[in-house]
Structure 1
């Protein structure tokens, strides 16, 4: 995991994470360490090396593998029903880590977010996660169309931005009053081969 990803996960500034990793912060505040310790399911004392870590068996049980429902992009409009029926009708995607009960997976349906997210990437979303500035979000537009974009927040305005440089003519789109942020991206996976 990269420091920037950790800072996003624990909601701390990247500079704070960098100072902790490089050792420039010799006496960090407990308020900075607590979210990191919680993320890794350890105590602050364990994070500092003052207490032993739990056995590997206990750590695995805290971060048990969950199987998330896989919902085809075309079926996102039936999201709530699909989540209820996923155990019998849909493929499941394994996930290790902290994620909301309503989390789900789908695949990227187009090239609008390249080069970072290619078509057919597996995208794992959490509807319970709060969207922040520069989060990647799944949005339901007024017309019941779903799009995956980067969210940019400027004061009271929220904008949706495609990353693909080929789409510069479309620029950013203002999030409308009837548009809804459905979920925040937690993880993306690149599939290189079907074998």
Structure 2
């Protein structure tokens, strides 16, 4: 019997029930890793990780945690099934390459060239195949989106007033990430950091609407 199996058996015998948090704590102990490591790995704060393990009734980040700890997400969620499962057997996730911002202006070309990039992010397999991930390389949208945040966009999602979008200016092909506001017949694309310019009265191409962001905590 492996160490993790013996820990599971011991806890189940003691408490009669193994919780989601218990399973993660035991995996971390067995792998000699910390909660801080796991929080950074899946892109949430240490405080959010503590809440997730100890208080959350609605379990989130199952796929991300399962991948980080190399276990079966069904076992992690319910305690049932095999402890581990090979990645090629999983049909609930896929790996999305992380692009640089300037690659977005030539998106079709970038999707092909970025395949050689080893850095990817795990996403739900139900997401559109056209979705793409971008590494934010500036502080224009701080404090909501810090430099180094991974942004996931869906080109098919229609932006509305207040949406966060990634776009390029037609005449320069420069790529920006801004919040979109509509006032009458005018469109304004606003930054959150006053050191960066707001954009209006420009011909633009919107490449995608933000559907998810994941922070990196140092």
Distance 1:134 1:109, change over 3 A: same
Query: Alignment partner of 2:110: what SS?
Result: helix
Distance 1:92 1:110, change over 3 A: same
Structure 2 unaligned blocks of 5 or more: 1-77, 82-88
Distance 1:90 1:131, change over 3 A: farther
Distance 1:167 1:81, change over 3 A: same
Runs of 4+ in 1 over 6 A off after TM superposition: none
| Superposed counterparts of 1:1-195, under 5 Å | 64-96=92-124, 98-142=126-170, 143-164=172-193, 166-167=194-195, 170=197, 172-176=198-202, 178-193=203-218
Query: Alignment partner of 2:112: what SS?
Result: helix
Aligned equivalent of 2:58: none
Q: Report if aligned partners of 2:92, 2:126 keep a CA contact under 8 Å in 1.
A: no
Structure with greater helix percent: 2
C-alpha distance in structure 2 between counterparts of 1:162 and 1:97, whole Å = 31
CA shift, 1:66, in A, is 2.3
66-75 vs 146-155, greater mean Cα deviation: 66-75
Paired residues in the alignment total: 132
Greater Rg by CA? 2
